[in-house]
Structure formats: structure tokens, C-alpha cells
Amino acid sequence: MATALIDDAGLDDLEREFLGRVRGRVLEIGAGDGENFGAFDPGVEWQGLEPDAKRRAELATRAREWRHTATPLDARAESIPLPDHSVDAVVGTYVLCSVDDPAAALAEVRRILVPGGRVIFVDHVVAPPGTLKRAVQWVATPISKRVCHGCHWDRDTERALAEAGFVGGDIRRLRVRSMPFGPVPMLLFDGRAPGGD
């Protein structure tokens, strides 16, 4: 199936649009150094989670600048130190490619969400079966895991989300212009945990 081809600026706009949809108590997993603050609705009650100490320190500084009072959690998405059903939404950009165990992370996300809670994930994903791009991703992943903070190029994140029980409401499968290996397959997923109204 042909997917839309966009550039980095178009992707940035879409990311902001998706992240801007969450409301209430929001957990951002793998929040890095806080690139996403400008995209959130000013009324959200933001909480971040980031295992890397240096990034977490920067994240804490930027969180204060954006008037978020919660101290970022020193934790991994596979073991989130929050009670069951305690957040309204979970977001993650370029983090499901990096976690050690996506199924465990998504089980935790589901546990802490209220029934019907919202998830927004943005990530590069595996190319369709039988493509040269997929072969390149398969070859590149052992290297990128080592040199790019655990990044996997060969993850089927849409399938992982479905297997974890999340139901997509707005799913965008795109290709983003990139050099030197050509367009990168990208997923933007706005979905819900089971339950709710």
C-alpha cells in the first residue's frame, strides 16, 4: 500500500498536532531532554519518565520553565512507578524504538492508564516485508542498538500496540524524506486503552 511522503517540517507539524490532543494527567515516557513541551496543551498535568540521568536533569530544568511541578521519574517504561489507572494519557516520541522490551513497556502503559485512556506514540518503524529497506533496517539495527542508545530500526510498533490491546483512532503511516537510505517509514498512533465509555 502506498503511504504519504512528507518532509521533516511536515512531520514536526503532525507530531505537535497529535501531542496537542492529550488532556488531564499525562505521562510522557522516555521524555529525553524535554523536546515536546511546546506541543502540549497548557492545561495538562505533565509527568515525565526518563532513565538517562543527564537527560533527566535537563528535562527537570525545562519542565520548571514550562511550569510543570512534577519531578521527572528515574525509571524505565518497563516498570513505571505509578499506581494502576492513575493517568489519563501516555505519550512517547521515538521511545518505543529504544525500550528494551516493548511488550513489557506497553503492558505497564496499559496498567497505569484509566480505562479508555489515550495513547499517542510517534516512531520510525519497520518497512514492509520483502522490501530492500527492511533488509537494510535488519542489518543496521545491531549497530544502531549499540551506538544510538538502544535504537531499533526494525520494530513493528503498530503490531506491538495492537497486541497490547490498544485500539487506534487515528493511525498515520507515513514515509519521511531522509538521506542517505531514502524515506523512513513512520507511525503516528492516536489510540485508546480498552474500557471506558
Please name which of 101, 30, 41 lies closest in space to residue 72, comparing C-alpha atoms.
30
CA distance 169 to 139: 33
Question: Does 95 participate in binding ligand SAM (rule CB under 6 A)?
Answer: yes
Question: Does 47 participate in binding ligand SAM (rule CB under 6 A)?
Answer: no
Beta carbon nearer to ligand SAM, 17 or 116: 17
Kindly tell me which residue out of 76, 118, 152, 155 binds ligand SAM, with binding defined by CB under 6 A. Answer: 76
Question: Does 51 participate in binding ligand SAM (rule CB under 6 A)?
Answer: yes
C-alpha cell recorded at residue 102: 516493548
Kindly tell me which residue out of 78, 136, 140, 175 binds ligand SAM, with binding defined by CB under 6 A. Answer: 78
**How many other CB atoms sit within 10 Å of the CB of residue 53?**
8
DSSP-derived secondary structure letter, 33: T
Please name which of 138, 188, 131, 116 lies closest in space to residue 158, comparing C-alpha atoms.
188
Kindly tell me which residue out of 99, 127, 164, 188 binds ligand SAM, with binding defined by CB under 6 A. Answer: 99
Residues that bind ligand SAM (CB under 6 A): 29-32, 35, 50-52, 55, 76-78, 93-95, 98-100, 149-150
